[in-house]
Amino acid sequence: MKQHLFLSLTLGTGWLLCPESLVMVGNGAGQMGWIALPLLVAIALLYSICNKLIQTPRFPDTTGGGFLLLKTMTGAIPAAGISLAAFIPLLILAATALLVTSGYTFNEVFLYWFPNFGFSFLLLALLCTLQLLPEKLIVRAQIFFVCLAAGGLLILSVYGITTSDIPTTAVLKESGSIWSSSSAILLLLFAGLTCNSNTQHSFFSVPVAGLLIFSLWIVASLTYVSPERLTSSTIPYMTAARKIMGEPGRQLMGIIVISGTCAAITGLMLLCKQMLCNIAGVNSPNSKFSRNLRWSFSPLIAMITGILLATGLAGDELLEVLLRGALILWLAHYTLLCFAAILHSYRKAKTVPWTGSVCTCVLMVALFSLITDNPHRMELLVFLFSVLIISGLFSTIWFYINTIHPNKHLTNGENR
């Protein structure tokens, strides 16, 4: 059980430790001040309740629980389309954005003469090669990436809090507005959260880990950097690290950024492959589908990401809009999972879990807020609808052209 719990934790915390999440936390702390701390507690509680809600329905094939849950509400083809829309764009766009950030970080912090994009492509090649190794080695690498990033962030946070001349109580008196857009954006910190583990009581591990890490980092950041600077900075994590520990802190943050990028991309790769296997009804890692996926999926994603890097999207403001759209699609998928779990509970037991229902309503309000408050609302809506349409077409092709029977997932699970 401990092994499954730790695996769920390392997969779910990959995105938590990436540079994009550190930007969200830093900007949010600057806008909301100490109010960000109780808000983080509320978000951790919300996700814990929602994860438990999603884990409540029991299916014969527990490894495909998320897809099967959606399938009971929408049918196989829409469920597959929604799943593809939630994970594939996020993986590609996140990889593009994070690799560029890592490239600039490596150039500016460690070797100024090394080309930024050269490091980005090198890291992309290494992460793609990692995906071709046996899954046991990939998981071990993911654990290493997560521990390195989390350990570095905790060291900076604890050092900053314990060595500051300013009392923590004085820092926590500074507050902003909880009604800022950051209150909804903080929900996106848990993108890629995996809740299909068949391990009992794993629903709270990732939210609690995120709460612990980010609470300490917010306090340390507010201690050394003014809220105005945190709000306006595009790299608030690097600003705070330099203020906390000087040049060693800057170098340590460089390691955190690169290892966090590796953790996010590796974790999303594993979750995407798991999602595709769930849709195909494949549960064995030694099956023909799994073997073909292992050798084809990561090179395909690497090729698409490389094209986006080479064509200049990485330096365009559009990438930020598209990545925000991909995160919103993930949150929409997660919200639908919660709604499907409520519907499943009502069908089976004629009862509605009120705590899960309230949390699902909060997620729906947050989704609406993230879309309407975005300054690039029209571009965002075009992206969302385009991805959903394309994913729907791909899922239709998947089930009809490749003759994969929609009920194969459930049949395979029951026959075992």
pLDDT tens column, 327-382: 999 999 999 999 998 988 888 877 788 888 899 999 999 999 899 888 888 999 99
Question: pLDDT band for position 209 (50/70/90)?
Answer: confident
Give the whole-angstrom CA distance, residue 38 versus residue 309: 38
pLDDT of residue 19: 93
CATH number of 2-404: 1.20.1740.10
Closest listed residue to residue 331, CA positions, set 381, 376, 368, 374: 368
pLDDT of residue 182: 62
Domains of the chain, by residue range, sit at 2-404
197 has a pLDDT exceeding 50: no
Burial of 301 (0-12, 13-18, 19+ CB in 10 A): buried
Decide if 197 contacts 51 (C-beta within 8 A): no
Closest listed residue to residue 224, CA positions, set 157, 126, 269: 157
pLDDT of residue 402: 62
Of the chain, the percentage scoring pLDDT greater than 70 comes to 85
In whole angstroms, how large is the CA radius of gyration of the chain?
Answer: 21
pLDDT tens-digit profile of 118-145?
A: 999 999 999 999 999 988 899 899 999 9
Of the chain, the percentage scoring pLDDT greater than 90 comes to 44
Structure-block tokens of residue 337: 């999972």
Backbone angles phi, psi at 33, to 5 degrees: 65, -140
Mean per-residue pLDDT, 25-38:
86
When comparing pLDDT for 413 and 245, which is higher?
Answer: 245
Structure-block tokens of residue 349: 């037991």
pLDDT of residue 203: 66
In the predicted model, what is the mean pLDDT of the chain? Answer: 84
Give the whole-angstrom CA distance, residue 217 versus residue 241: 10
Give the whole-angstrom CA distance, residue 402 versus residue 368: 36
Give the whole-angstrom CA distance, residue 196 versus residue 57: 11
Q: Is the pTM of this model over 0.85?
A: yes
pLDDT tens-digit profile of 40-98?
A: 999 999 998 988 888 776 554 444 557 888 888 888 889 999 999 999 999 999 999 99
317 has a pLDDT exceeding 70: yes
pLDDT of residue 354: 87
151 CB neighbour count, 10 Å cutoff: 14
